[in-house]
A and B are shown apart, each in its own frame.
Chain A
Amino acid sequence: MVTRLKEVDAVMVGMGWTGSIMARELTRAGLQVVGLERGPDMTPAEDFALPGIRDELRYTQRLEMIQDPAMETLTFRHRPSDSALPMRRFGSFLPGNGVGGAANHWGGHTWRFLPTDHVTRSHLVERYGASMIPEGMTVQDWAMSYAELEPYYDKFERLCGVAGQAGNLRGKKIAGGNVFEGARQNDYPTPPLTQNLSGEMFSKTAAELGFNPFPRPTSNCSRPYTNIEGLTLGACQQCGYCDRAGCEANAKAGPHVCVLPVLRADKRFELRSNAWVSRLTYDKAARKVTGVVYTDTRSGEEYEQPAGIVVLSAYVFGNVSLLLHSGIGEPYDPVTQRGSVGRNYCYQLSRFGVTMFFEDKYFNPFIGSPGTQMVIDNFNGDNFDHSGLGFVGGAIISCGHGDGRPISYRPTPAGTPRWGAQWKQATAKWYQHALTLGLSGSNYPNRNNYLSLDPNYKDQLGRPLLRMTYNFVENDYKLAEYCSNKAAEIGRAMNPTIMGKPNVRRGDYDIVPYQSTHNTGGTIMGTDPKTSVVNRYLQSWDADNLFIMGASTFPQQAAYNPTGPLGALTYWSAETIVRDYLKRPGPLVQA
C-alpha cells in the first residue's frame, strides 16, 4: 500500500553535491523542495570528529562511508558475450552513502575541463581528420562550450574555496599556473596548499625538462574562507586521511560545509533521509514525470511523492538505473547501437604510475592531502600532438604525498618479499623515502562499454541490479604506455637511488583494487535524442520536467576528475530552470 503525499514543487533524488546545489537554487527561487536521500543524515560535528575520524581501519579498509553493496551493488562483465557477476564488495570505485554523498569522502580535486574537452569529437576531426577516431569509439561533443560554462565553473570554485593558482586569467598566461587551462575570469579563491618536498622535486625537474608544473587545484582551503553562501570553511591541516573520511577541520568542501547549513534553515526545504527512491512515476504520453516512489528504510513504508519537477541527483549508477526501472527513454543496445540510456559508460585510467626511492630524502608521506600535489598537463587531452601516436586523449602526471597511512601505504622496492624478515627491514627502511609519479588518464567511450539491467541479480527492493559491461580497449593501453614512459623520463631525471618500472599493464579491467570513483556516462548530454538522454540544460528528452545532474551526463571522461564540471553543470542547469523553465514549462531545446 503506497501512501500518496501532498505534491511539492520539486524533489531531489539524492542529496550529495548536485542535489544540494539544485535544492538551494530552487528554494532561493521560491519553490517548495523535498530532498530525498537513501542513506542516513549526518553532521560534521558528530560524524567527522576527532579522534575517531583518524581511523584507517574503519574508513580506508572497512569503507565506513561507502555505499553498502548488500543494499544495492551492480554486476559486472568484460564484454557483451560474458555473463555478469555481482560486485560483492566495492573496490575499484567507492560510491558514497548518506547526506553529502561521495563528497563526504572525496579527495577534493576540482578541475575545469579543457576547452577541447568540451568539443572532443569536433576538435579531433578538425585537427587530425575523422580517421583519427578509432573504430567503435563513440566520442561526442559536450552540449555547451567551455566559454558558456565558465561563469558556472567560477561559481562552483567560489562555493568550495578551491585552493590553486591561475594559469590563464582572462587570456593572460601566468607562469606557475596551468597554462593549458581555458581563460578564467577570477583566480582561485584561496592560494595553493603548501607543497611537499616530493612535489617540489618533481616540479623543479619537470620545469628543467621544459614542462609546465602547477599546483593541483583542490577543494581543501589553504586558509579560512567565507564562500558565496556566507558559510566559512577552515584551513586544511594536511592530515592525510581525507580521501576516505570526512574533514574535522571543515576545510574540505562538501555539501555539509558549503550548502546544507543554509538549506536546512530554509522553511521551503525539507530533507528526508533513509528515503530510498525505487522508481519515478512517468506519464509517457504527456512526456512528464509525475513524482517518485520511495521506501522509508526505517519503517519499510512506501510513499509516492508527487512533484512538479524531478531532479535525478544520485550517483551515476543511481541515475541510470532509475531511468531503466521507470521505463524512461530507450535502453542502449550495443549490437544495433540504438537507444541512449546506458550509452557511453566511461571510467578513468589510473594505476599506471612509477615509484622511486631516494635514500637521502625524507618525504614525511603522512603530511599532505590528495590535493597536495604538483601536476603537469603537457600530456593531457590534446595538449600535445597525437599525429602518429595511435591513440587519442591523455593523462595528467602528478607528484606529492598525503596518504601515508601505513596499512595501505608501505612502498618497498621491486623484488622485496611481501612478509617476513626482509619485508620488515625494507618497510622500515623505505617508508620515508618513496615517491610516486601518479597518472590519471582520460577514458573515451566504446560501443561495447555500457550500462543495462542485469537478468539475474536483485537489490534489497527486489529490483534488477544495474549491469556494467566494461573493458579497456587498445586506445587505453597505448595512452597508458605513452604517458607512463613520459613520467618515467621525468622520474629518471630526478635521479633516484632506486628507479621503479612504469606500471604499464595490458589485460582485462580488474574490479578489485581501488582505481577511481569517477564513473561517467549512461545519461549523456547531446544535441540529438537518438544519441543522448539530456539536452544542453540537462533536461530529459523524454520528460521535460525531469532534469539529470552529475557525471552521468558526460559524453566521455577526461583525464581530470569530474567534480568541477559536475558542480558547474548543476549551476548552469539550475539557472536555466529558474530563468526560463519555471515561466514556460516545456522542452528548453527542440529536438
Chain B
Amino acid sequence: MDDPRARRRFLIGAGTALASGAAAQVAQAQANPAAAHPANDSQTARSTTTPAAATAPAAAGAIATYELLSATEIAFYTAVADQMIPADELSGSGSDCGVVVFIDRQLNGAWGGGAKMYRGGPFRKAKPEYGYQLSLTPREFFAAGVAAVNRWTQATFGHPFDGLTHPQQIQALHDLEGGKAPLQGINPRQFFDALLSLVMEGFFADPMYGGNKDKVSWKMVGFPGLPAFYKDAALQFRGKKYAPAPKSIADFS
C-alpha cells in the first residue's frame, strides 16, 4: 500500500462493496458449487445462513471483506464491471450490483481453483475449437490476465486500467475483445471472453452469490426467478407479459 494511488483504489473498491458485504459473506459460504458434495451439506448451509442475503441491508459500518482479490485487482474489476454494465435507468453499475464481490467469491472458490477441469499434461497451444488448453486454474489465469492488461495500459496510456479515462477504458476493452491489445503472454481475446462471461454471470446469477443485488438484472429483463411453478401460468399468460416480482433462492430458504 505504499503507492497512494493503489490505496485510493482500495478505498474505492471497499466503499463500492460496502452495501453488499452481508450478502457477500453469505455467498462465501455457498460459492463452491463443485465442492459442495454431498449436495445436502450445501442445502443445510443455505438454510442457516441465507436470511441476511440480498434482503437485509449491510449493518452500518460493515467493512466489505474480500477473500482473495488485491486492491489493484478490486480496482481493475470495478472499472471493467462498470464499463461492461454501466449505470443507467435500468440498473446501477456492475460494481453497484455486487459483480466484483461475485468475482472475488468465484475465483476464491472451487471453480477458481480448477474444479471440474482435467489438468494433466502435456500442455500444448491449440486452436480455439479445442477449448481451454492452459495449465492455469481460473484463479491463476485471471490474476495473470489482470496483471497483463495493467502492464499494457500502463505502457500505452500511462496508467493501470482503472486509472484511464472512460473513453480510454472503452477503447482498451474493444482492443482486448478484438484481439488487438498486445498483452504479454496472454491471448487478449481469450482473456476478454473469460472476463465478459464472469461479469455477466455475476450480474445475472442468483443474488446469493454476491452479484445481482436486489435481483436488479432479473427486474431489468423480467425474469421471475423462483419458484418457477408455471403449470397454470403457461396457459393463463400465453401471449401476455408475465412479470411477478422476482424471487431468489434466499426468499425460499
* Chain A residues near B (Cβ < 8 Å): 40, 42, 46-47, 49-52, 54-58, 61-64, 66, 68-70, 73, 76, 78, 85-91, 193-194, 196-197, 200, 235-241, 361-362, 364, 366-368, 372, 404-407, 410, 418-421, 424-425, 427-428, 431-432, 456-458, 508-512
Q: A54-B249, A85-B133 are in contact. Are A406 and B228 (CB under 8 A)?
A: no
Contact assessment for B229 and A406 in the assembled complex, using a CB-CB cutoff below 8 Å:
no
Question: Do the beta carbons of B116 and A456 come within 8 Å of each other?
Answer: no
Whether B234 lies near A196 (C-beta < 8 A) is: yes
A62 smallest CB distance to B (angstroms): 5
By a beta-carbon cutoff of 8 Å, the part of chain B in contact with chain A is: 33-34, 36-40, 42-43, 46, 83-86, 88, 90-91, 111, 115-120, 122, 124, 126-133, 170, 173, 177, 196, 199-201, 204-206, 209, 217-218, 220-231, 233-235, 237-242, 249, 251-253
3 smallest beta-carbon distances between A and B, as pairs: A51-B252, A239-B228, A431-B221
Residues on A with beta carbons closer than 8 Å to the beta carbon of B241: 362, 364, 432
Smallest Cβ distance from A467 to chain B, in angstroms? 13
| New A-B pairs, 10, CB < 8 Å, besides A54-B227, A70-B117, A364-B242 | A50-B227, A85-B126, A89-B117, A240-B230, A361-B239, A405-B223, A406-B204, A419-B85, A424-B85, A457-B120
Could you show 21 A-B contacts with beta carbons less than 8 Å apart? A40-B38, A49-B43, A52-B46, A54-B225, A54-B228, A54-B249, A57-B209, A66-B116, A85-B126, A88-B118, A194-B234, A196-B234, A197-B239, A237-B228, A238-B233, A238-B234, A240-B230, A241-B228, A372-B234, A407-B201, A424-B86
Complex: A372 Cα to B57 Cα, angstroms: 40
Provided the pairs A418-B196, A511-B130 are in contact, do residues A58 and B223 lie with their beta carbons within 8 angstroms?
no
In the complex, what's the smallest C-beta–C-beta distance from A144 to chain B, in angstroms?
Answer: 37
Q: With a 10 A CB-CB cut-off, give which of B84, B131, B224 has the most chain A CB atoms.
A: B131
When A51-B249, A62-B111, A406-B204 are in contact, do A511 and B131 touch as well, CB less than 8 Å?
A: yes
Q: Are A421 and B86 in contact (CB under 8 A)?
A: yes
Do A55 and B206 touch across chains, with their CB atoms under 8 A apart? yes
Most buried by A among B116, B127, B220: B116
Chain B residues, Cβ within 8 Å of A46: 39-40, 43
Nearest A residue (CB) for B252: A51
Min Cβ gap B102→A in Å is 9
Which one, B122, B173, B237, B249, contacts A419 given CB within 8 A? B173
Contact between A428 and B90, CB atoms less than 8 A apart? yes
CA distance A431 to B225 in the complex (A): 14
Quick check: B237 and A76 within 8 Å, CB to CB?
Answer: no
Query: Which chain B residue lies CB-closest to A72?
Result: B118
**Chain A residue at minimal CB-CB distance from B42:** A52
* Interface contact A62-B33, CB-CB below 8 Å: yes
Would you call B86 and A420 a contact (CB within 8 A)?
yes
Residues from chain B with a CB closer than 8 A to the CB of A52 are 39, 42-43, 46, 249
What's the Cα separation between A56 and B206 when bound, in Å?
7
Decide: A91 and B86 in contact? CB cutoff 8 A: no
B126 touches A239 (CB 8 A): no
Q: Contact: A511 with B238, CB < 8 Å?
A: no
Asked if B83 and A420 sit within 8 Å, CB to CB, the answer is yes
Q: Which of B116, B220, B225 contacts A62 (CB 8 A)?
A: B116
- A69-B130 in contact given A55-B206, A364-B241, A432-B222 (Cβ < 8 Å): no
Q: Measured between alpha carbons, how far is A470 from B120 in the docked complex, in Å?
A: 22
User: Are A425's CB and B118's CB within 8 A?
Assistant: no
**A88 touching B119 by the CB < 8 A rule?**
yes
Q: How far, in angstroms, from A240 to B233 measured CA to CA in the complex? A: 13
* Least CB separation from B223: chain A residue: A406
Bound form: Cα–Cα A241–B224 in Å = 13
Partner of B129, one of A47, A73, A508: A508
Q: Is the CB of B223 within 8 A of A367?
A: no
Among A91, A241, A432: residue with most chain B CB under 10 A: A432
In the complex formed, the residue of B with least CB distance to A405 is B223
Which of B117, B128, B222 is in CB contact (< 8 Å) with A510? B128
**Complex-state Cα separation, A181 to B221, whole angstroms:** 40
Q: In the assembled complex, which residues on chain B have CB atoms less than 8 Å from the CB atom of A237?
A: 228-231
Chain A residues closer than 8 Å to B230, beta-carbon distance: 237-240, 364, 366-368
B39's contact among A47, A66, A372, by CB below 8 Å, is which? A47
Give the complex CA separation of A367 and B40 in angstroms: 27
Report whether A366 and B43 are in contact in the complex, using a CB–CB cutoff of 8 Å: no
Q: A343 to chain B: closest CB distance in Å?
A: 24
A58 to B106, CA, bound (A): 11
A63 to B117, CA, bound (A): 11
Contacts of A512 in B (CB 8 A): 128-129, 131
**Whole-angstrom distance between the Cβ of A580 and the nearest chain B Cβ:** 42
Contact A419 B196 (CB under 8 A): yes
> For residue B126, which residue of chain A has the nearest CB?
A85
* B35 → chain A closest CB, angstroms: 10
Q: How far is the CA of A118 from the CA of B158 in the complex (A)?
A: 68
Compute how far the CA of A69 lies from the CA of B117 in the bound complex, rounded to whole angstroms.
6
* Interchain CA distance A406-B39 in the complex, whole Å: 24
Whole-angstrom distance between the alpha carbons of A85 and B118 in the complex? 11
Q: With a CB–CB cut-off of 8 A, which chain B residues contact A431?
A: 221-223
Choose among B117, B130, B227, B249 the residue that contacts A76 (Cβ–Cβ < 8 A).
Answer: B130
Do residues B221 and A427 form an inter-chain contact, with CB atoms below 8 A?
A: yes
Q: Is the CB of B118 within 8 A of A86?
A: yes
Given known A88-B117, A241-B228, contact A420–B128 (CB-CB < 8 A) = no
> Is the CB–CB distance between B129 and A509 below 8 Å?
yes
Given contacts A57-B209, A62-B116, A510-B129, contact A197 B238 (CB under 8 A): yes
Chain B nearest CB: distance from A366 CB in Å? 6
Q: Bound state CA distance, A186 and B241, in angstroms?
A: 38
A217 to B199, CA, bound (A): 37
Judge whether B221 and A85 touch: CB under 8 Å.
no
Q: Closest A-chain residue to B199, C-beta based? A: A419
Closest to A238 in B: B230
Residues of A within 8 A of B120 (CB): 86, 457-458
- Chain B residues near A50: list those with CB within 8 A: 226-227, 252
Of the residues B83, B90, B204, contact of A425 by C-beta under 8 Å: B90
Is the beta-carbon distance between A235 and B34 smaller than 8 angstroms? Answer: no
